[in-house]
Amino acid sequence: MNRRHPLKRSAELFGQAQHLIPGGVDSPVRAFGSVGGTPPFISHARGPYLYDVDGNEYVDLVCSWGPIILGHAHPAVLEAVNLAASRGLSFGAPHPGEAELAAAIVALMPVEKVRLVNSGTEATMSAIRVARGATGRDKIIKFAGCYHGHSDGLLAEAGSGAATFAIPGSAGVPAATAADTIVVPYNDLDAVRAAFAAHPDQIAAIITEAAPANMGAIVPGPGFNKGLHDLAHEHGALLISDEVLTGFRSSAQGYWGLDGADEGWVPDLFTFGKVIGAGLPLAAFGGRAELMDLLAPSGPVYQAGTLSGNPLGTAAGLAQLQLLDEALYGRLNDKAARLKAAWHEALSQESVPHTINSIGTIFSVFFTDKVVTDYASARTQNTRAFAAFHAEMLAQGVYLPPSAFEVCFVSDAHDARALDRVVAALPSAARAAARA
Ligand SMILES: Cc1ncc(COP(=O)(O)O)c(C=O)c1O
């Protein structure tokens, strides 16, 4: 057992937080509701490790749900943030860092202009507004199990926390708003075709995760993303590729670089987040100039933000993006490959049914023997087995996403020592899963 200290202080803090914050957390999955137990309260993080207030060290395979690609508290990122902080925390006025970060994104992704926002939720919400403004249409198509943040229209059959807690659609979403979202199964072009046929000239956009990672990792079938692009254009609609999670995680050009870069098709609008903010609240959406110039003050689509383009966020994001190269993605791939092989071996040893899916350097292990290609197959998982597995990994000092519908991330700081610790924890976690 790696955990030497019981989660006493964490439990006290969780109890206090529950009096003040709904469920004790500011984002639902953090409450450990679907895996049980007390969430460790984190005091600090360094490299590949999280440290809780009770004195335990964990190898972190969540990496703040994606942004931490270099490892926690990376010196170059910290230096950039400290320098920026010393100059003032927010100006509410243009500053050089905004265009510098925009230039770094435009250099890597097939977008001509980007606007910076504070969260992935804002990015997707705003991209949809641009698509509606551009087409004069209201409806959008989204895929069951995909998560694009928590704006009203995007919560129908959403992945991530909504999937974790089996919430098919959130309370509080106006029926009229929900009616404009058409939900279809992932990896099913015929369903998309049927949606266009049923709503002629009404659909503004298809929004899709470039590769879904919020119902576990799902790989788009061959030609699926291009098929979406072609269908959207055939029907006068736009394709929004949500790369909030996948962007800059597996290749410099996001998942699009792995999937579409060589085939000559480009989504109309992209959304980014996580890695481009390096752990600070920063996200972006972008596309062709003619679409992005629909935004105020150039055009009639309104979008704004007090803290948008915050100088700490742009400094952190730029410092991180400057350190990403193909060699780093190669290293992340090797680390993920080692973990996936060890996971497979440990679970096979205990005859625990499982399927491992990968999106570049991101991976997830489903406790099912089914091939997982969409939300319906993702939901065949034995979530009890996952919860037992999760608890045992945590007890041994490995911090996994506390949900069977989330993915694992590695960072460049995950060295042999950290990976060895994960590998050593797997056999007893597999035994716990087998018993569940
Ligand atoms: C693909 C995708 N889009 C959008 C979001 C929402 O981002 P945020 O949590 O920053 O609002 C997420 C968050 O996980 C995501 O994975």
Nearest CA to ligand 1 atom 16: 245
Ligand 1 near 13 CB (within 6 A)? no
Nearest CA to ligand 1 atom 3: 148
Q: How far apart are CA 359 and CA 243, in angstroms?
A: 12
pLDDT digits (tens, 9 = 90+) for 371-414: 999 999 999 999 999 999 999 999 999 999 999 999 999 999 99
Q: Say how many Å lie between the CA of residue 142 and the centre of ligand 1.
A: 14
CATH fold of the domain at 8-61+326-435: Aspartate Aminotransferase, domain 1 (3.90.1150)
Q: How far apart are CA 303 and CA 122, in angstroms?
A: 9
Ligand 1 near 121 CB (within 6 A)? yes
**Mutational test site, ligand 1, from 25, 142, 146, 147, max ligand atoms within 8 Å of CB:** 147
Q: Say how many Å lie between the CA of residue 215 and the centre of ligand 1.
A: 13
pLDDT digits (tens, 9 = 90+) for 100-114: 999 999 999 999 999
> pLDDT band for position 157 (50/70/90)?
confident
> pLDDT band for position 54 (50/70/90)?
very high
Domain-wise residue ranges, the chain? 8-61+326-435, 75-321
Ligand 1 near 243 CB (within 6 A)? no
Pick the residue with more confidence: 3 or 260?
260
Q: What local confidence, expressed as pLDDT, does residue 264 receive? A: 85
Q: Is the pLDDT of residue 2 over 60?
A: no
Retrieve residue 7's tokens.
């989660």
pLDDT digits (tens, 9 = 90+) for 238-265: 999 999 999 999 898 999 999 988 888 9
Percentage of residues of the chain with pLDDT beyond 90: 92
pLDDT digits (tens, 9 = 90+) for 166-186: 666 889 999 899 999 999 999
Contact 395, 401 (CB under 8 A): no
Ligand 1 near 209 CB (within 6 A)? yes
Q: How far apart are CA 77 and CA 70, in angstroms?
A: 9
Catalytic center residues: 147, 242, 274
Q: What local confidence, expressed as pLDDT, does residue 3 receive? A: 60
Output the pTM of the full model: 0.97
Name the one residue in this structure whose structure tokens are 């390096």: 278
User: Residue 217 contacts by C-beta under 8 Å, 6 or more apart in sequence?
Assistant: 211, 357, 358, 359, 362, 363, 364, 407
Which of the four CATH numbers 3.40.50.880, 3.40.640.10, 3.30.505.10, 3.40.1260.10 does domain 75-321 have? 3.40.640.10
Q: Is the pLDDT of residue 210 over 70?
A: yes
Average pLDDT, the chain: 96
pLDDT digits (tens, 9 = 90+) for 299-337: 999 999 999 999 999 999 999 999 999 999 999 999 999
Ligand 1 near 147 CB (within 6 A)? yes
Ligand 1 atom nearest to 214, measured from its CA: 16
Q: Is the pLDDT of residue 165 over 90?
A: no
pLDDT digits (tens, 9 = 90+) for 333-342: 999 999 999 9
